[in-house]
Amino acid sequence: MDDVSYINLTKYSPYEFAELIIDKLRKVDHHNLNAKLLNYIPKSERFNYVLNHHEISILRGFEQSRYKYRAIDKITQESGEEKEVIRKRLLILKDKGLVDLINKPKGQKWIITNNGKEYLEYYYYEFDESSGSGI
């Protein structure tokens, strides 16, 4: 936050301080929002998940696909990243309950869970709609 040099934390509870940061981020214009969030994806109080921008992009890839199930090869192709990197990120998302690995007739496929869908809805509501534009 370029325009903040000092905040006296004795005047705020942790929750109030978090709200202060969120309010400040909401005022950031759209062009600077990606840079601000690149290394800091906020914590959802409801789901208690912290995701980095790579994990968010994987979830968005699922959501924007016309297919319910995704093969790791397809996710790798779309992301342009190495298969092992994507596999590790998918396992992290699985541990967080956002995606799941299932057996299909043509092999194992990944699917976004209900928690993952609800997390994306929360994320879009908090950051896309509150800023007036998409990230």
Q: In which residue are the tokens 């924007």 written?
A: 64
Is 119 part of any domain?
Answer: yes
pLDDT for residue 86: 93
pLDDT for residue 42: 57
Which among 45, 41, 46 is positioned nearest to 59, based on CA atoms? Answer: 41
Is 4 part of any domain?
Answer: no
Is 3 part of any domain?
Answer: no
SS3 107: strand
SS3 6: coil
Q: Which two tokens stand for residue 122?
A: 């929360």
Number of domains composing the chain: 1
Is 75 part of any domain?
Answer: yes
Is 66 part of any domain?
Answer: yes
Which among 124, 120, 129, 102 is positioned nearest to 55, based on CA atoms? Answer: 120
- Kindly tell me the sign of the dihedral angle through the C-alpha atoms of 14, 17, 19, 21: negative
CB burial of 81-108 (b: ≥16 within 10 Å; e: otherwise) equals eeeeebeebbebbeebebbeeeeeeeee
| Tens-digit pLDDT string for the chain (135 aa) | 555 667 788 888 887 887 777 777 666 554 555 555 544 555 566 777 778 778 888 898 888 888 889 999 988 888 888 999 999 999 999 999 999 999 989 889 999 999 898 888 887 776 655 554 444
**The domain spanning residue 96 has which CATH number?**
1.10.10.10
Is 37 part of any domain?
Answer: yes
Is 62 part of any domain?
Answer: yes
**What's the farthest any 2 CA atoms get from each other in the chain?**
59
pLDDT for residue 135: 41
Is 1 part of any domain?
Answer: no
User: What domain range is 111 assigned to?
Assistant: 9-131
